Amino acid sequence: MATPREKVASVDPIWTDLRQQAEAMAAREPTLAGFVHATILQHDRLEQALSYHLARKLGGEDLSPLAIREMFDQVAQEDGFGQALRADLSAVFERDPACHSYLDAFLFYKGFHALESYRIAHWMWGHGRTAMALFLQSRISQLFAVDVHPAAKIGRGIMFDHGTGIVIGETAVVEDDVSIMQDVTLGGTGKESGDRHPKIRRGVLLSLGAKILGNIEVGEYSRVGAGSVVLKSVPAHCTAVGVPAKLINCDCGENPSQQMNHFIEELPDGTG
């Protein structure tokens, strides 16, 4: 008969691996043992550990960590949150060569922290608690240097690499399995109202410093090169690069967001 730990491992292998990595870290770094135990080992589920960890970061004089944790615990019970959380954590571990464990991402990667905090703010926005959603947006921006409007729609399996400088506007859509590097902007082009922000389809890679502006679409499994400014829609499976961006390659692989290949092939005329 399976032990309780074996049963947990069979239904939640990411949480099981995370706990094992936490136990190993506590043994290697006794000074951090209290932190690791309080953040991970004292909890029964990944969602509980996350709410404790992020509440301590986001809480302060204006809103206590306990109040934030209660909100996190409420949202974590909603359908889909746990799956998105695990998909996001896996995305960081699998795509970032600097990340050597689930534990590294969970404890220390502020891009991951910002994304999961956004998910709470997004739920608040969708349930009419707009003031609380905007409060959380402000705190996320202050703490993690990531500014995502709580009304933006973001799928699962997302990686905010480094996180610093990422800006995502109110009507933006980011579908599943997208990788977004630091200093990326999904913004508008002026003072227009309504649907005015980009739609980033599944499997896209947005390289560092890319700016995608306006109600345009970046098609599935496409890439936007570093420092590019995209003002027109990009077809599926294509690479766009430059200021303003131009298409240079429409065979950029099956999974750009997972391959994380930022190299832009040089064209015969020397561009690219």
Q: In what order do the strands lie in the sheet with 173-174?
A: 153-154, 173-174, 199-200, 217-218
pLDDT, position 259:
73
pLDDT, position 7:
46
Query: From the DSSP assignment, how many helices (H) and strands (E) are in the chain?
Result: 10, 15
Q: What percent of the chain has pLDDT over 90?
A: 83
pLDDT, position 69:
94
Query: For residue 272, what pLDDT band results from cuts at 50, 70 and 90?
Result: very low
Q: pLDDT per residue over 177-202, tens digit each? A: 999 999 999 999 877 789 999 999 99
CATH second-level architecture of 1-147?
Orthogonal Bundle (1.10)
Least confident of 16-25, 45-54, 151-160, 263-272: 263-272
CATH second-level architecture of 152-272?
3 Solenoid (2.160)
pLDDT, position 192:
79
What's the CA dihedral at 47, 51, 54, 59 to 10 degrees? 170
Long-range contacts of residues 55-59, Cβ cutoff 8 Å, at least 24 apart: 57/113, 57/143, 58/117, 58/136, 58/139, 58/140, 58/143
Domain span(s) for CATH 2.160.10.10 in the chain: 152-272
Closest alpha carbon to 84 in 166, 174, 149: 174
Q: pLDDT per residue over 150-178, tens digit each? A: 999 999 999 999 999 999 999 999 999 99
Return the residue matching tokens 């027109």.
232
pLDDT, position 29:
96
Mean pLDDT, the chain, rounded, equals 91
192 φ/ψ angles, rounded to the nearest 5 degrees = -65, 155
Domain span(s) for CATH 1.10.3130.10 in the chain: 1-147
Query: For residue 265, what pLDDT band results from cuts at 50, 70 and 90?
Result: low
What Rg do the C-alpha atoms of the chain give, in angstroms? Answer: 19
Res. 106: pLDDT tops 70: yes
pLDDT, position 210:
97
Higher pLDDT, 269 or 220: 220
